[in-house]
Structure 1
Amino acid sequence: MTFTLAIVGRPNVGKSTLFNRLVGRKLALVDDQPGVTRDLREGDGRIHDLRFTVIDTAGLEDVTDDSLQGRMRRLTERAVDMADVCLFLIDGRAGLTATDRVFAEILRRKNARVILGVNKAEGRAGEAGVIEAWELGLGEPLALSAEHGEGMDELYHVLRPIGEEFRERAEADAPVVDIDVPEDEAEEEADPQAHKPTEKHPLQIAVIGRPNAGKSTLINKILGEDRLLTGPEAGITRDAISIRADWMGTPIRIFDTAGMRKKSKIDDKLEKLSVADGLRAVRFAEVVVVLLDVEIPFEQQDLRIADFAETEGRAVVVAVNKWDLEDEKQEKLAELKEMFERLLPQLRGAPLVTVSAKTGRGLDRLHDAILKAHDIWNRRVPTARLNSWLGAMTEAHPPPAPGGRRIRLRYMTQVKTRPPGFVVMCSHPEDMPDSYKRYLVNGLRDHFDMPGTPIRLTLRSQGDKNPYKEKKNWGAPSRLRKHLDKKKD
């Protein structure tokens, strides 16, 4: 059992920089402009041998209405309630502000366990801020520099007693259970199905789409709580936020990503960073849910996003959101299926699910579609079945003979999963037309029930594996080879 540390403070005091320092990676977006962070981002923090969960929060602002800043503040206050200890960060160079004093009083009223940190305290410019921080009455301030890593030892010595307290509490609460596992069950547990989601290896899901498609709202409904910041404004989400949860009995780690617009329409540096963060989340995911808006489905940007997920080799599920707003559901569903097959032929057979993130309708179907897509993505076909199928396919439709040279398909095997990858040994692979490759890929989808998943098919010549193909006299004794070489000269 580890404790949770929430980093709170005004905008632009360096919370995300300190978060990245504690987790040891650049997870949170960092920029000079204030208010970059909007959602709660969790990470596994570490200082020397101390482990804990760290939460990066949005900058606290003195706003209490339903504006975007007001909703961000309520989310941060919720993080304070969730956390075991708060690191209240102020800017040592700017000194104390009226806003700092307001939020110090809020933390006192919440009876939160607070550590006061003065960031940007390196050099003489920050010394005055450290002295001034005593006025808040939150104990001895820690002089920190998140950018340069200064003050981490001092923070470790403050957090270590808290870590020991939680460790002792966990040991006292843990029941002592002696389980005698039968030998056959032990062997079964030692060889589980590797691709089945577990608590240790949850199913990785990324939700992507254009701005205002409802990605954060959908994830909140899956989680059963308002964990992510939502609202009518487009482009609220900036960071790719990952959250662990149990969804209908399936351990998942789900990524919320920033809305993706066309590159030509993105001028803001921060939006470019947000989109790049979302694309990185796709590469980490196993299943990608492409979320569309039912009122404007399959726009050009939707097609680019879906094609990117397929190119990256992820299992893809297409979900159409805001289905509760549609009146003519049967006609609209038929139209969506026709557009899907016509505009995304590379994802032929992928699941198309209608959902309502607002009401929760269709989430059970989405869950089942994700599990099925993940199972197909991990599927392995026996070599004997593959070669039997290959023989039937070539007999029904023989390969072409470009330039009068017949291409012979000799052997086929599956070399990888996630996504399924196959190798066909053949003659003249460089002459094989793309149309025949598509014929084989579509046949694999239909015969082995692998709709929608990306399939990688590679053609190789058997000569590629012969290391002596270009060598002469390779089998002769060394003296004979020298004699033959001399005679040749």
Structure 2
Amino acid sequence: MSFTVAIIGRPNVGKSTLFNRLVGKRLALVDDTPGVTRDRREALARLGPFKFRIIDTAGLEEGKGDSLSARMWRQTEKAIEEADFSLFMIDARAGVTPLDRHFADILRKGNHPLLLLANKAEGRAGEQGLYEAYELGLGDPIPVSAEHGEGLAELIEGFDRMIFDLNLDSGEGEDDEVTSKSVDIVGEVTEEQESESEVDSGLPLQMAIVGRPNVGKSTLVNRLLGEDRQITGPEAGLTRDTIGITFDYQGREIRMFDTAGLRRKSRIQDKLEKLSVADTIRALNFAEVVVLMVDVTQPFERQDLNIASLIVQEGRALVIALNKYDLIENRQEVMKDIQYKLEHTLPQVKGIPLVPLSALTGRHVDKLMPAVFEAYRQWNRRISTAKLNKWLAATTEYHPAPSVKGKRIKLRYMTQVKTRPPTFAIFCNRPADVATSYQRYLINELRWDFDLPGVPIRLLLRGGDNPFAKKS
């Protein structure tokens, strides 16, 4: 990345809309509700010939002490410090507001390079606001429409001037490939990459942190990063959209997604919360390992189990982080209760790793990532066909499949067809008649005999003989 640009401005002026347009995909949530963005989000962007890192920030609002608006402003200040220059946006249709003037004064005194953008300037409705923008003393405003893509040619000219004045590398001629560090969510891995050797292939491990609202997800993210990267506080629902952050852990690149809290569907009425939940579900689709965070000072609720079940259905490796474990006295009882509920609600994934920790104090947080790496390794496990068929013969001899209407079911051949999660195919004479209970038995025996705790296992039943017999 050649240079970094931050988008700043008061709430609801269109910062996230411009961010999505420059990135070329819908990464940031966009809604008419002011203050949707609270944490800063970054990605690789492109404007004409320029390639750069762009940071979307929270709306500029005044706040004192440890108020939410003050915490949001501190995050924006960090983004401004990281950026080579900023795009200060106003709403041309609303005109220049006192809040615009207030923060323009702050930015002007800070002597930070910036371009002034008058957004929503399409049509005649934004003309008055465009003329008012000259009063801010931040140079000539550039009229744009982030929603409709108008004014981008003028914005390119503004970038050209800024790059020349600051002597920045424009990024022209760089490879078009987007690295994992540059995007918020990267695509799923192809089948050709699905092998155990991929565990140490150098590709970033993609990890999502999910859970109910206010269980400490963002606090854990900050603890792992060693900085106040995400806004935290006692208020529930501070994180509204999924934020992707890349960091290095003991030489391994990690792509971590901090997500919005998941409540029960019956409690979700607000449109913005529905968008946040959809964004979290999308993060699950791209994650490889999911850390389900639970507040152990609260009862282990059905919603926690529902989230765990959703992760298993998506076929992701699962690790459960038991946060605030240092605040409870009856630790053994709490641990036994959680294990009991998991075993009876999710019997298909016995052995889910549980990591007691305190995100606030950092106690035992160092045990989380080793558990994540182990879950990832198991998720990528591949077992040889020879071992599987030897196991199948011994298992069916000990406990044959129940006959149906006096007709015997013969399990003839077994192979692993994919990893991520481990998926196995068994060829038999009557696949439709194999009882669900017997399939569960096979999965449980497979998990026990090949040491596959906590990861989803897929079992496919196929008709016919050994498909490779003629080839061999």
Shared fold per TM-score greater than 0.5: yes
Taking the aligned partners of 2:196 and 2:48, their CA distance within structure 1 comes to 34
Deviations 1:336-382 (A, max 9, x none): 33333233322211111101000111222111110000001011111
Match status 1:431 vs 2:433: yes
Which sits farther off after the overlay, 330-339 or 141-150?
330-339
The aligned residue for residue 474 of structure 1 is: none
The aligned residue for residue 19 of structure 1 is: 19
Which sits farther off after the overlay, 270-279 or 323-332?
323-332
Which sits farther off after the overlay, 290-299 or 21-30?
290-299
Which sits farther off after the overlay, 60-69 or 358-367?
60-69
Taking the aligned partners of 2:337 and 2:264, their CA distance within structure 1 comes to 25
Q: 2:311 aligns with which of 309, 312, 315?
A: 309
The aligned residue for residue 407 of structure 1 is: 409
Match status 1:205 vs 2:207: yes
The aligned residue for residue 159 of structure 2 is: 159
The aligned residue for residue 50 of structure 1 is: 50
Taking the aligned partners of 2:160 and 2:208, their CA distance within structure 1 comes to 35
Does structure 2 conserve the Cα–Cα contact (< 8 Å) formed by 1:2 and 1:163? no
Does structure 1 conserve the Cα–Cα contact (< 8 Å) formed by 2:290 and 2:319? yes
Superposition map of 1:165-176 within 5 A: 165-167=167-169
Superposition map of 1:119-138 within 5 A: 119-138=119-138
Indicate the RMSD between aligned Cα atoms, in angstroms.
2.1
The aligned residue for residue 193 of structure 1 is: 197
Superposition map of 1:278-317 within 5 A: 278-317=280-319
Structure 1 residue 62, shift from structure 2 partner: 2.2
The aligned residue for residue 341 of structure 1 is: 343
Taking the aligned partners of 2:128 and 2:466, their CA distance within structure 1 comes to 70
Does structure 2 conserve the Cα–Cα contact (< 8 Å) formed by 1:197 and 1:250? no
State the secondary structure of the residue aligned to 1:454.
coil
Deviations 1:419-444 (A, max 9, x none): 11111110110000011111111111
Does structure 1 conserve the Cα–Cα contact (< 8 Å) formed by 2:41 and 2:57? yes
Structure 1 residue 76, shift from structure 2 partner: 1.2
Match status 1:76 vs 2:76: yes
Return closer, same or farther for 1:211/1:192 CA change in 2, 3 Å cut-off: closer
State the secondary structure of the residue aligned to 1:304.
helix
Does structure 1 conserve the Cα–Cα contact (< 8 Å) formed by 2:8 and 2:15? yes
The aligned residue for residue 39 of structure 2 is: 39
Match status 1:460 vs 2:458: no
Taking the aligned partners of 2:171 and 2:431, their CA distance within structure 1 comes to 65
Does structure 2 conserve the Cα–Cα contact (< 8 Å) formed by 1:50 and 1:163? no
Does structure 2 conserve the Cα–Cα contact (< 8 Å) formed by 1:87 and 1:116? yes
Taking the aligned partners of 1:107 and 1:410, their CA distance within structure 2 comes to 73
Taking the aligned partners of 1:192 and 1:390, their CA distance within structure 2 comes to 22
- Structure exhibiting the larger radius of gyration computed from Cα positions: 1
State the secondary structure of the residue aligned to 2:426.
strand
Return closer, same or farther for 1:300/1:138 CA change in 2, 3 Å cut-off: same
Higher relative contact order, chain-length normalized (CA < 8 Å, sep 6+): 2
State the percentage of identical aligned residues: 57
The aligned residue for residue 383 of structure 1 is: 385
Taking the aligned partners of 1:362 and 1:340, their CA distance within structure 2 comes to 22
Structure 1 residue 247, shift from structure 2 partner: 2.2
Structure 1 residue 193, shift from structure 2 partner: 2.9
Taking the aligned partners of 1:234 and 1:197, their CA distance within structure 2 comes to 38
Does structure 1 conserve the Cα–Cα contact (< 8 Å) formed by 2:3 and 2:170? no
Taking the aligned partners of 1:166 and 1:433, their CA distance within structure 2 comes to 66
Structure 1 residue 167, shift from structure 2 partner: 2.7
What are structure 1's unaligned runs of at least 5 residues?
172-190, 467-489
Return closer, same or farther for 1:207/1:162 CA change in 2, 3 Å cut-off: same
Deviations 1:12-71 (A, max 9, x none): 100111111111111111111211111111111111331111111111012223221221
Taking the aligned partners of 2:393 and 2:105, their CA distance within structure 1 comes to 77
Does structure 2 conserve the Cα–Cα contact (< 8 Å) formed by 1:387 and 1:412? yes
The aligned residue for residue 327 of structure 1 is: 329
Does structure 2 conserve the Cα–Cα contact (< 8 Å) formed by 1:260 and 1:275? yes
Deviations 1:435-477 (A, max 9, x none): 11111111111111111111110000017989xxxxxxxxxxx
Q: 2:279 aligns with which of 277, 280, 296?
A: 277
Taking the aligned partners of 2:354 and 2:63, their CA distance within structure 1 comes to 41
Larger helix share, 1 or 2: 1
What are structure 2's unaligned runs of at least 5 residues?
174-194
Taking the aligned partners of 2:302 and 2:122, their CA distance within structure 1 comes to 49
Equivalent position amino acid for 2:107 in 1: L
Deviations 1:240-262 (A, max 9, x none): 11100112332101111111111
How many equivalent pairs are there? 445
The aligned residue for residue 235 of structure 1 is: 237
Return closer, same or farther for 1:313/1:163 CA change in 2, 3 Å cut-off: farther
State the secondary structure of the residue aligned to 1:13.
coil
The aligned residue for residue 186 of structure 2 is: none
Taking the aligned partners of 1:192 and 1:405, their CA distance within structure 2 comes to 39
Does structure 1 conserve the Cα–Cα contact (< 8 Å) formed by 2:356 and 2:364? yes
Q: Which runs of 4+ in 1 moved over 6 A?
A: 168-171, 463-466
Equivalent position amino acid for 1:250 in 2: R
Return closer, same or farther for 1:25/1:381 CA change in 2, 3 Å cut-off: same
Does structure 1 conserve the Cα–Cα contact (< 8 Å) formed by 2:428 and 2:465? no
Which sits farther off after the overlay, 107-116 or 64-73?
64-73
Return closer, same or farther for 1:405/1:28 CA change in 2, 3 Å cut-off: same
Q: 1:444 aligns with which of 432, 443, 446?
A: 446
Structure 1 residue 230, shift from structure 2 partner: 0.6
Taking the aligned partners of 2:388 and 2:209, their CA distance within structure 1 comes to 34
The aligned residue for residue 100 of structure 2 is: 100
Taking the aligned partners of 2:169 and 2:86, their CA distance within structure 1 comes to 18
TM-score normalised over the length of structure 1 = 0.87
Equivalent position amino acid for 1:301 in 2: Q
Does structure 2 conserve the Cα–Cα contact (< 8 Å) formed by 1:414 and 1:420? yes
Does structure 2 conserve the Cα–Cα contact (< 8 Å) formed by 1:208 and 1:289? yes
Deviations 1:73-131 (A, max 9, x none): 22112211121111000010111111111111111222211110000001111122222
Return closer, same or farther for 1:392/1:99 CA change in 2, 3 Å cut-off: same
Taking the aligned partners of 1:246 and 1:404, their CA distance within structure 2 comes to 59
Structure 1 residue 168, shift from structure 2 partner: 8.1
The aligned residue for residue 185 of structure 2 is: none
